[in-house]
Chains A and B, each alone.
Chain A
């Protein structure tokens, strides 16, 4: 995608994931009262009806999980999605994080189609570039990538 000189460095959403280092994480919060995780970050009132806490710590979510389900986008979504021309369909996965007991959506890395995914398959979080309206080099977003050897 980002062929040429400039590499994307700006995240598509500020503060949603770490960008330094080779092992990126989504950034969420965890309720200090009941332990519930939140993504995106929640820092006001816990949504657990039996918890009155308003104290949260910022946490890095697990960067691996198992496929809950998957699909793709065969048509170019409307703005604010920015797509390269011509539009290339992309794959989407819903990945279950064991420790957080939650399912997180994200695109799947380029070159991986629905035919190579299965429920229960091990996935890891990586960063990839997606096109942007103002930055020619694009912006960074989180994507799911099959863990080496998974699905074999």
Chain B
């Protein structure tokens, strides 16, 4: 399709718990992406940042803060907030700018510093705030992931061993990834020995939160050609659709689903990649590698099905067969996924695109998926935000 842009530079700051200002990670990632693209910082005419709003404080004005740290040079700037999809929305803003002919080269960047301790709602008696309400009656974040996981067990016959297999696979994938926070090969026994958090999910089934930064340099296809990068990896689709009423799943922070009395329930998760496939003119069968949001091990199985990489209910069998490992038919999370990274919200969707870019360039080293031509990302966060990006070469 005609709406493609090129990725000519990618860069990341290692994930971890560094405790420094988020702009430091953003700048490090941006500088790496600029070097990778072989351009000058002044060539970048649009800076698009993924932002974070924390406890009502919109202090993470990523685009401007990181642009200033890199040195104001009069480029236009933007910050997008869309929870876990913030990076993808920042990328979509850059694509629009480039395709409209308004600019040729853009920096897309996301970085996060996670606060210490629990993410708890603000104090006081606030029954109008759904987040306050659900904590008051004892419904926490792991509750939702555990309900989805248990539903798989009840409907498809998945087991906790199947979920553990996802962790073992991702730990193996991320073992040599220099940007991953956790680089240790875990066994199924390690997972089974970790503490139960929300039955059936154990501590090692759920992901942590991390500091980190990721950046992309994107440009028009003409510009890529002009600088001798006509064969660069291209972005063929960015989907950031909302859910459709009535949404089928109970989502954080709600205590109930939409009522499906007036219309049939619809899956939000599967709508995200569906729109991306449509936009790219790509069939799920063409996908060679996927980076999906494994907030929990079981959720990776949901995503595999939502991305159409296998039939509904068959993701556990697919995983058992080894197909989702590097070397298998359809490797999933070759980066190591959130299992090895932990979530750095505004950076994570971009980190997924960085990994796919390395994979499609054949630069992923020991994580390389042989002959990768088409990659898809998928993620979903709070407030009806989610995204799916397709990259091709």
B118, A78: Cβ atoms closer than 8 Å: yes
Q: How far is the CA of A5 from the CA of B370 in the complex (A)?
A: 71
- CA A136 – CA B366 in complex, angstroms? 60
Residue numbers in B under 8 Å from A78 (CB-CB): 118, 120-121, 135, 140
- Report if B101 contacts A (CB, 8 A): no
A46 CB to nearest chain B CB (Å): 9
A36, B139: Cβ atoms under 8 Å? Answer: no
Q: Which of B145-153, B212-220, B300-308 sits within the interface?
A: B145-153
CA distance A81 to B155 in the complex (A): 31
Interface size in chain B (residues, C-beta < 8 A)? 46
Cβ A101 vs Cβ B137 within 8 A: no
Size of interface on A: residues with Cβ below 8 Å to B: 45
Knowing A80-B121, A119-B155 touch, does A35 contact B143 (C-beta < 8 A)?
no
Which A residues are CB-close (under 8 A) to B244?
49
> Which of B178-186, B252-260, B323-331 contacts its partner?
B252-260
- Whether B255 contacts A73 by the Cβ 8 Å rule is no
Within 8 Å of chain A (Cβ to Cβ): is B195? yes
Q: How far is the CB of B54 from chain A (nearest CB, A)?
A: 15
Count chain B CB atoms within 10 A of each CB in A14, A47, A103 and give the residue with the most.
A103
CB-CB < 8 A to B1: which residues of A? none
- Contact in complex: B137, A39 (CB < 8 Å): no
**Interface stretch (choices B17-25, B30-38, B196-204):** B196-204
Residue on A with the closest CB to B249?
A: A103
Given A38-B259, A71-B143: A119 and B120 within 8 A (CB)?
no
Tell me the smallest distance from the CB of B68 to a CB of chain A, in Å: 35
B127, A94: Cβ atoms under 8 Å?
no
Q: Does B99 contact A (CB under 8 A)?
A: no
Contact present for B147 and A94 (CB under 8 Å): yes
Nearest to B260 among chain A residues (CB) is A101
Would A47 and B199 count as touching, CB distance under 8 A? no
Q: Which of A36, A68, A74, A79 contacts B246 (CB 8 A)?
A: A36
A13 contact set on B, CB distance < 8 A: 127, 133, 136-137
A74 adjacent to B196 (CB under 8 Å): yes
Complex Cα distance A114/B149, Å?
13
Bound-state CA distance A108–B112 (Å) is 37
User: Cβ of B245 < 8 Å from any Cβ of A?
Assistant: yes
Give the interface of A toward B (CB within 8 A): 12-14, 31, 34-40, 47-51, 68-75, 77-81, 90, 92, 94, 100-107, 114, 118-119, 130, 141
